[in-house]
Structure 1
Amino acid sequence: MPVIAYVLIVIVGVALWTASLVVVSRANPEDLIPFWRNPPHVPGKALALRVFGILLVVGGATTGGSQYPGSPLPIIAVVLGLLLPLLLVNLAHNRRVEAQS
């Protein structure tokens, strides 16, 4: 399978992971979402989306990275760049909560 297929798998994984964070932010409209812990309310749907998203990100990145003929740095850069939406969704939610308090 070409490396671009693994990049697409990682993109789908990040989309699922981001969707899980959106579900969590809607379930906690008045609570801050911590970066390193779980928020007060985590719906089961969000947990399932997060698990499948992380599995796709890790599986696609490691398998694609092992088949990439050059340095693994481009694969690492793609994964880190794709994780940016997670950070932005979390920051936007926390800023909105802080502005309402």
Structure 2
Amino acid sequence: MSKRVKGNRPLSPHLTIYRPQMSSISSILVRITGVSLALGFILIITWLLAASTNVYYFDCINSILTSWFGIVVLIGSVWALCYHSLGGIRHL
């Protein structure tokens, strides 16, 4: 067998070599939205537990959710749910 010439090239293709394809970007975004939905689910469970335990806890969580940051998080969660659902439909 002949000896391989070792140059400055990588041994295997790396992410920097490939141009991002639409399907790979979509797959990565579906995974990211899945993680964000899990975090949003924890937020909703916390809100429900606060509502069932004490008025003080509910007021605290409700003030966070009705602030501008909470509204942005809730809108982002709805967008993530829509995108994740539509991303899952393409696999059916």
Q: Which has the larger radius of gyration?
A: 2
- Structure with greater helix share of residues: 1
TM tier, smaller: 0.3 to 0.5
